[in-house]
Structure formats: structure tokens, C-alpha cells
DNA sequence: TTGCTCCTCACGTCACGTGAGGTGGC
DNA sequence: TTGCTCCTCACGTCACGTGAGGTGGC
């Protein structure tokens, strides 16, 4: 049996961690001296400790680790989880890389003088439109939005109801939340059709006075467009009064306005994409704020 | 000017984060209504907020972000930091990947029955030896140990003092610490030579009764060897009484016992490496603990 | 006996999230 | 006026790290 210091030294786990795992019930010492409270560990506990460290390293919380240990999984099952988890982690790494190169964009374009962004903002009325839509909370926006559009286009095509105008997204959140956005993905239709448990058919209200801004490029350019829109709103004495929409005007790799979204939507030549953000605005009452 | 909710919505930064950055002094609203305490933000603040988010996304703490903003770096400088940071992150990802594949090893070998590990432990006396050594705290063990060995071998070779026995590492830590190990990297020499401000020349004491265990493979096998050693110690009624040593018996890619470490030490054919861990032990007094 | 090892609180970390409870704004 | 927006505490999160202050072990 080992006192905590040696057990720590040989397993490369800090003493504090061992005490913490004891406290959580993850790894109880085989013996605790009732007089002194000293913890004694045995080499019999190495497999369990190794499992704990391995699962923790895979990114599970200690609570999850505890549950996994309780389920008494076979080594094969754990290694299956390991492989799943590894795939997840690799996916995250790819996203991370993408996010990082966005950081570069952000610095290059937004940092010094956003005035150079050459966006034209116009205020115009937007007509009401009948749509088939799905509204839900999404976390990984771009990917999920793509799948939802696909689902809607297939459904609408099956009913031969597609209207000849662009699909769009409504951002219903009134503020930004880290853990996912309340999004409605909408495809215009010509006439009323039956919805189902996922798909709602409804009329999206028209809006008098939407500030509209067309921009080119992929999803990562949306932030820039939004910044430009903010500058315009402030400079012209408006304020927002409703949810933001993002209209996908051109999104096929070949530059045609397609109604079915190929994979190319996500991967190929995003610089050809054309989108428009639309924000309901109203004039600020009273004197325009001084600058 | 924007109230906090709209500013949050358009910048994709939560309201709580904006309040937090205000509190830290990272991003003060341009105006705070003295009556209501309402925060008002301007689009003039977008460049600063974009910088904050970009730097945060690069992995800097908010305190560091604050300092970086105060230094009023040019966009070019920040992008230079960005590239450095990206290289760092990529390095971390590689380490992460390596660690992950170790997890698989850990599960495969250590999890169910460590008894199958076919290590032979012998207790023997280890003679004293004169060495040139460097002792310091290292965090990234494998990499740093390699460089230290290289430095020592070059120094010793310049003095033509190399003894014909294997280099080794002494782990002086009595417990494990996350943030770096107190390590002494030692190269045996034939006779006393002058040290310098980094390199100490000293005699490493001999040890009566060291439990020794030879194993093959790279650094990632050390944990396995240590586990096997723990099992042996417990089963045979010993206990440790001194710092652990790790002796590098064979570490060149060609299988020769070289005194200069090529890059191959780190990358090539680690399965050919042979090492020995040595731990001073003593018999436990009194009755052997029952199992 | 002395110092050494181990113990148990208790608080700190970091960047916010999550209510509670309250007031100004339109 | 009513509800709505925003406010300020204050505590929680997660996996420990870091002392403070104290006792058993050899």
C-alpha cells in the first residue's frame, strides 16, 4: 500500500487531485487510518485510476466519468467511446482552425477603419411572404442551417409549391447568447400546403422600412456587414425595432440561383455567394444624438 | 447609440460579457445615463470590441487583452502576434493528438489486467557516478529533456570527459505536480571537469537496493513501467525511499548506444528504445500487509 | 522528542451564467 | 399607468491550487 505522496508520484496525479477524487467518490483509498485519517492506496486501484484519467483526458467531466465507471463498461466499449470522442475532438479542431482564420479576417477588415467597408444601406419595404419554415435553437449555425434548408427544400419540392424568391433566416433572439441562437429557417412557397411536426407553414409579415445591405462572401462576412449596418444606423439616426433577417440571394457554386442546396454551399467558392441582411428600423424620436 | 441589448445582438457578444468588460475597464460604454445607469454604446467602439474578441479568441486572458490594448499595437503587430499564437495553438494540437493516442494505449494496456505486463523487477545496488548535470523545472518533459541532453553531451565532449555509461534523469519531485517536474538531467563523465552557470559537475550517490525495471519503447511506456513497478513493490513488501531515476540505455534510431542524441531520439522508431527505471526501496517493517 | 507527513477547512481561480430584487423609460 | 428594459448585487460554475492551522507517525 502507498501513502498518498508516493501514489501521486508514481501515477503522475497530484495529491490534491487524489483527495478531490476521494471526495467525489471516484477513487476511494482502500484504507483510511481511522486515527490519523491517512489515505492508503493499493496498486489494485491503478486500473480504475487509469480509467479515470483516460476518460478525463477524453474531455468528460468528472461527473460523467463517475457515471461511466458505474456502468462498468468493457475495455472495448470504452475504446469505442474513445474513438467517437476523438472524432468529435478532431471536428472541434477543424472548427477551431476555421474560427482562427476568421480572427485574422476580423483583424484585417474590422480593426482600424471600418469605414472602408463599402456597403450600401437602403431602407425599403419588404412584402409579406408565405413560407415553410422550421424554428429551433441551433448551436453550430452554418452546418445546421444548411441541413434545415435542405430538409425544407425537399419537402416543398415534393409539394411542388416553391415560390421564385430567395430563402432566408430570421434571428428571433433579442440579444446574443453563447449556447445557441433561436433561428427560423424559411423557404418561400406559392400557396398554402400542409406542414408537419417539424415544418410550419405560415405567413411572414411584411415590414415597412427595413434597412437592407447586400454583401458577398460566406457566413464569416456577416459580422462585417452587421458592423457596417450598425455604423449606418447610428449615423442616420435610426434604431432597430424587430428581428434581423438574412436572405440568401445567390448560394450555388455555379452562381445560379438554385432552390436546392448542394454541398457546395458549404465548401466551395464562398466568395461568390451573395446575401442580404435586413433589419426593421425606425427613426429615433427627438433630436439626433450629437457626436 | 445603442442600448446594450441591440449592441449585444449585432456584435454577437452577450449582454453579460459587455457588462463584464465594462467592469474590467476593457470596454466602457460611451455614455452611462446618470439617472438610470443605462449603458449606451456607439459604433465607434466596434474596432475596440472586435480587437477584444479577436485577442480573447487567440487564447489571451482578459487581463492580457487589456494590456495589449493599452500598448496600442498596430494592426500589423497584432496580426504578427496572431500568427505566433496560431503556431503555438497548432503545436498544442499536435501535442493533444499525441496525448490522445496515449489515452488509447493507456486503455489498452493498463486497464483490465496490468498483470499481463511482462516486466522483470530486480533489486540491485547502483554504484556512485560522476556526472555533468542540469537541474531545473521542466514542463514539456520529452522535448526539453532532449535539448538538455544535447547541451550536456556537447559540453562534455568538448572536455573529452565522457564516461562509457548511459545518461539518465533524476526526478527530484516527491509528489507529482501539473505545472512542471523538478528534473536533473545527468551525463556520466570520467573525471572532474569545470562546470558553468548552467551545468553542475557532481557525484551522484550510489544506492544500495534499487528496484530496477527495464522496458522498451518511448516515453509513453514509462507510465506502464511505473505501474508494473508499483504492483511489484506492493506484492513484495517494499516501499520507496528516494528519488526515481530513468536511465536511457539505448536511444539511437540505429540501435547503437550513442553519446550524442540525434533528432531521431524524438521521432523515429521509438519502439527500439530501451530504458530502465530505478527506484530506491527498503523492506517494509513489521508484518506484511494482508491482502 | 523533533521534524515530517498527512489531514481538514476555507478561500481563490477565470470568465462569465443565472437568478433575485429593484428602478427608470416610453 | 403598465409592462418592459436595464440596473446592481450575490452566488454558482468546474476541477482543482494554495495556503492556514492542526495532528498523527516514525
Tens digits of per-residue pLDDT, B76-115?
Answer: 777 777 777 777 667 666 666 666 666 666 666 545 555 5
For A165-177, letters b (16+ CB in 10 Å) and e give bbbbbbbebebbb
Q: Which of chain C's bases lie under 7 Å from a protein CB?
A: 5-8, 14-18, 23-25
Chain A 159-178 residues in 7 Å CB range of strand C = 177-178
Q: What pLDDT does B256 receive? A: 45
A9–B104 CB contact, under 8 Å: no
A283 touches strand C (CB under 7 A): no
A8–B176 CB contact, under 8 Å: yes
What pLDDT, in 10s, does the model give residues A96-136? 666 666 666 666 654 555 554 567 899 999 999 999 999 99
B6 touches strand C (CB under 7 A): no
Q: What is the mean pLDDT of residues B133-159?
A: 87
CA–CA dist A249, A228 (Å, integer): 19
Count of residues in chain B? 291
Q: What pLDDT does B107 receive? A: 63
Closest residue in chain A to residue B6, using alpha carbons only: A175
Beta-carbon pairs below 8 A across chains A and B: 175
What pLDDT, in 10s, does the model give residues A130-189? 999 999 988 777 778 888 998 999 999 999 999 989 999 999 988 898 888 899 999 999
For B76-91, letters b (16+ CB in 10 Å) and e give eebbebbeebbeebee
Count of residues in chain A? 291
Least confident residue range of A154-158, B125-129, B136-140, B255-259: B255-259
A33 touches strand C (CB under 7 A): no
B39 touches strand D (CB under 7 A): yes
Q: What pLDDT does B222 receive? A: 85
Residue B218 has pLDDT above 60, yes or no: yes
Gap from B59 CA to chain A (nearest CA, Å)? 10
Q: Which helix (H) or strand (E) holds B274?
A: strand B274-283
Which residues of chain B are within 8 Å of residue A227 when distances are taken between CB atoms? 10-11, 43, 46, 50
Of B108 and B145, more confident: B145
A33 touches strand D (CB under 7 A): yes
Q: What pLDDT does A121 receive? A: 92
Distance B203 CA to D26 C1' (A): 30
Residue B261 has pLDDT above 90, yes or no: no
Indicate the residue of A10, A13, A226 with minimum beta-carbon distance to B10. A226
CB atoms under 10 Å from CB of B211, counted, come to 20
Among A193, A75, A179, CA closest to A132: A193
Gap from B277 CA to chain A (nearest CA, Å)? 11
For residue B224, what is its C-alpha cell? 506502464
Considering chain B, what percentage of its residues have pLDDT values greater than 70?
Answer: 79
A239–B13 CB contact, under 8 Å: no
Distance B83 CA to C11 C1' (A): 38
Q: DSSP letter at A206?
A: P
What pLDDT, in 10s, does the model give residues B18-38? 999 999 999 999 999 998 999
- Reading phi first (left if > 0) and then psi (alpha if -120 to 50, else beta), residue A25 is in left
Q: What band does B62 get if pLDDT is binned at 50, 70 and 90?
A: very high
Q: Which residues pair with B132 in a beta bridge?
A: B187, B201
Residue A255 has pLDDT above 60, yes or no: no
Which residues are within 8 A (CB) of A33 and not within 5 positions of it... i.e. 6 or more apart? A40
For residue A66, what is its C-alpha cell? 463517475
Which residues are within 8 A (CB) of B6 and not within 5 positions of it... i.e. 6 or more apart? A239, A240
Indicate the residue of B9, B50, B96 with minimum beta-carbon distance to A174. B9
Among B126, B145, B130, B114, CA closest to B229: B114
Q: What band does A263 get if pLDDT is binned at 50, 70 and 90?
A: very low
Residue B254 has pLDDT above 60, yes or no: no
Closest residue in chain A to residue B108, using alpha carbons only: A75
Which residues of chain A are within 8 Å of residue B9 when distances are taken between CB atoms? 171, 173-176, 240, 244
What is the overall mean pLDDT for chain B?
83
Of A108 and A239, more confident: A239
Distance A38 CA to C10 C1' (A): 20
Which residues are within 8 A (CB) of A1 and not within 5 positions of it... i.e. 6 or more apart? A30, A31, A40, A41, A42, B234, B289
CA–CA dist B67, A221 (Å, integer): 28
Q: What pLDDT does A256 receive? A: 45
Considering chain A, what percentage of its residues have pLDDT values greater than 70?
Answer: 80
Gap from B234 CA to chain A (nearest CA, Å)? 6
For A218-256, letters b (16+ CB in 10 Å) and e give bbbbbbbbbbbbbbbbbeeebebebbbbbbbbebbbeee
Q: What pLDDT does B287 receive? A: 47
- Asked whether the CA dihedral B48, A215, A218, A137 is positive or negative, the reply is positive
Among A211, A238, A232, A176, CA closest to B46: A232
Q: What pLDDT does B216 receive? A: 85
A46–B234 CB contact, under 8 Å: no
B192 touches strand D (CB under 7 A): no
Beta strands in chain A (DSSP E): 2-3, 31-32, 39-41, 121-126, 129-138, 168-171, 181-188, 200-204, 207-216, 238-240, 244-250, 274-283
Least confident residue range of A5-14, A227-236, A259-268: A259-268
Indicate the residue of A50, A171, A289 with minimum beta-carbon distance to B106. A50
Q: What pLDDT does B143 receive? A: 76
Amino acid at each position: 500500500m502507498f501513502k498518498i505522496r508516493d501514489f501521486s508520484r508514481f501515477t503522475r496525479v497530484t495529491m490534491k487531485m487524489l483527495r478531490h477524487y476521494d471526495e467525489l467518490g471516484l477513487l476511494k483509498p482502500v484504507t483510511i487510518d481511522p486515527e490519523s485519517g491517512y489515505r492508503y492506496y493499493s496498486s489494485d486501484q491503478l486500473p480504475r485510476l487509469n480509467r479515470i484519467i483516460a476518460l478525463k483526458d477524453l474531455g468528460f467531466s468528472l461527473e460523467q466519468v463517475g457515471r461511466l465507471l458505474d456502468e462498468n463498461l468493457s475495455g472495448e466499449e470504452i475504446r469505442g467511446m474513445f474513438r467517437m470522442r476523438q472524432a468529435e475532438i478532431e471536428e472541434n479542431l477543424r472548427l477551431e482552425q476555421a474560427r482562427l482564420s476568421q480572427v485574422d479576417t476580423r483583424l484585417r477588415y474590422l480593426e482600424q477603419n471600418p469605414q472602408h467597408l463599402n456597403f450600401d444601406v437602403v431602407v425599403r419595404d419588404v412584402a409579406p411572404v408565405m413560407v415553410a419554415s422550421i424554428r429551433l435553437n441551433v448551436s453550430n449555425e452554418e452546418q445546421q442551417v444548411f441541413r434545415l434548408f435542405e430538409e425544407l427544400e425537399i419537402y416543398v419540392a415534393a409539394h411542388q409549391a416553391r415560390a421564385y424568391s430567395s430563402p432566408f433566416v430570421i434571428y428571433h433572439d433579442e440579444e446574443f447568447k453563447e449556447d445557441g441562437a433561436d433561428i427560423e429557417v424559411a423557404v418561400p412557397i406559392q400557396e398554402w400546403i400542409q406542414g408537419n411536426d417539424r415544418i410550419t407553414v405560415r405567413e411572414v409579415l411584411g415590414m415597412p422600412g427595413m434597412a437592407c445591405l447586400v454583401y458577398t462572401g460566406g457566413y464569416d462576412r456577416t459580422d462585417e456587414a452587421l458592423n457596417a449596418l450598425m455604423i449606418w444606423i447610428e449615423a442616420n439616426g435610426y434604431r432597430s425595432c424587430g428581428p434581423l433577417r438574412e436572405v440568401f440571394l445567390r448560394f450555388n457554386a455555379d452562381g445560379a440561383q438554385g432552390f436546392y442546396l448542394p454541398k457546395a454551399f458549404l465548401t466551395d467558392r464562398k466568395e461568390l455567394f451573395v446575401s442580404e441582411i435586413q433589419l426593421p428600423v425606425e427613426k429615433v424620436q427627438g433630436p439626433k444624438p450629437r457626436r
